[in-house]
Amino acid sequence: MSATAAISDKRLIEMFLDMLAAERGAAANTLAAYRRDLEHAGEFFRRAGSSLQTAAPAEVSRLLNELGEDGLAAATRARKLSALRQFYRFLVAEGTIEEDPCHGFAGPRKARSLPKTLSIGEVDRLIETARERCARCRGGERYRAVRLYCLLEVLYATGLRVSELVSLPRDVLRGDARVLTVKGKGGRERMVPLSGSAVKALHDFLSLGQSVDDDVSETVATRWLFPSKSAQGHLTRQRFGQDLKEVAEEAGLDPQRVSPHVMRHAFASHLLDRGADLRAVQQLLGHADISTTEIYTHVLQERLKALVEKHHPLAVKGQVRE
């Protein structure tokens, strides 16, 4: 394709998104985010009398300056620049443009926040509180209590994303009951093992049958592992999050510190703390890039640092003498 042929911004964006979906298996939410960022950039360039295809480095610089003046967070500005970089690298590779107008631009520096997590004792208390709920509830309340306990056991045993957990299909239990085959981001499949307690929790939940007050259709009940009357047909992540905060408060934990995502962080942190291989944890979490998994090593480093500062005999005012 000639580098001088004019192509509409809309067509260029579609070409790029098609590549991301076909070659990288990008998820729908990822594609939607790229589309928004590129359409925003295209609109800025059009106001300047240019386009995505003809934008020069000076126009990219003005776009980045405007993003900063608008008060956007560093993480948001970095994401928008990353989208443009990948877009223009694609256009150069396709021969649509000759030079990358983003070349040489550095993204805004942003602090890498450490994920929130829970201690092993706190997770144990949370799960035990959910288990005790099951014994004292009856009817529909018992169904929901057993479901919540099952969700917690499976979540802590596997480290699934909450969207993966609540949308597990019923047929995921076919084959070896000790292993789940999960379809994650970008349609990538991975196998995750279940603990003995998670297997038992699943068995106890399924043995209850359909909730007496959920009134879901037979089709829905047989399609999803955690069926619901929601529009999706399965338990929503919001409902699970609400139930989890309730049991956290009952367990004496700050509900603001507890969420399905925090449980996923706890799963990863506790595995690494016990000596698990980083690559194995990456595979279990379904991370495409190991750099995403490496954040948990920083969590452990910070924990060890705090431990030394608190307990080392030479520590003075929270700092160890050099």
Instruction: Report the share of the chain in percent with pLDDT over 90.
Output: 49
Alpha carbons 217 and 219: distance in angstroms, whole number: 5
287 assigned to active site? yes
In this prediction the pTM is: 0.62
Mean pLDDT of 21-27: 87
Domain-by-domain residue ranges, the chain?
Answer: 9-94, 120-307
Fold of 9-94: DNA polymerase; domain 1 (1.10.150)
Check whether 161 has a pLDDT greater than 90.
Answer: yes
Catalytic annotation on 296? yes
136 is catalytic: no
Q: How far apart are the C-alpha atoms of 205 and 149, rounded to whole Å?
A: 9
Average predicted confidence (pLDDT) for the chain: 85
Phi first, then psi, for residue 167 (nearest 5°) are: -100, 20
Does residue 200 carry a catalytic annotation?
no
Residue found under tokens 């014994």:
135
Is the predicted pLDDT of residue 120 greater than 80, yes or no? yes
Q: Which of 62-66, 155-159, 245-249, 317-321 shows the lowest per-residue confidence on average (mean pLDDT)? A: 317-321
Q: Note every long-range contact of 280-289, with CB atoms under 8 Å and residues 24 or more positions apart, other chains counting.
A: 283/190, 284/158, 284/159, 284/190, 284/192, 285/159, 286/161, 286/164, 286/182, 286/184, 286/185, 286/188, 286/190, 288/185, 288/186, 288/188
**Options 161, 234, 237, 270, the catalytic residue:** 161
185, 190, 223, 245: the active-site residue: 185
Residue 212: what pLDDT?
45
Cα–Cα dist 116/299, whole Å = 9
Assess whether 185 carries a catalytic annotation.
yes
> Which residue among 88, 143, 156, 296 is the active-site one?
296
Q: Is the pLDDT of residue 63 over 50?
A: yes
Q: At residue 169, what are phi and psi to the nearest 5 degrees?
A: -75, 155
Confidence (pLDDT) at 70:
80
Q: Is residue 322 very low, low, confident or very high in pLDDT (cuts 50, 70, 90)?
A: very low
Bigger pLDDT: 87 vs 217: 87
Q: Answer whether 220's CB lies under 8 Å from 227's CB.
A: yes
Superfamily of segment(s) 120-307: Intergrase catalytic core (1.10.443.10)
**What pLDDT is stored for residue 7 in this prediction?**
83
Residue pair 52/12 in contact by the 8 Å Cβ criterion: yes
pLDDT score, position 77: 86
pLDDT, tens digit (0-9, with 9 covering 90-100), for 167-199: 999 888 887 888 998 888 777 889 999 999 999
Running DSSP on this structure, what letter comes out for residue 193? E
Structure tokens at 230: 């929601």
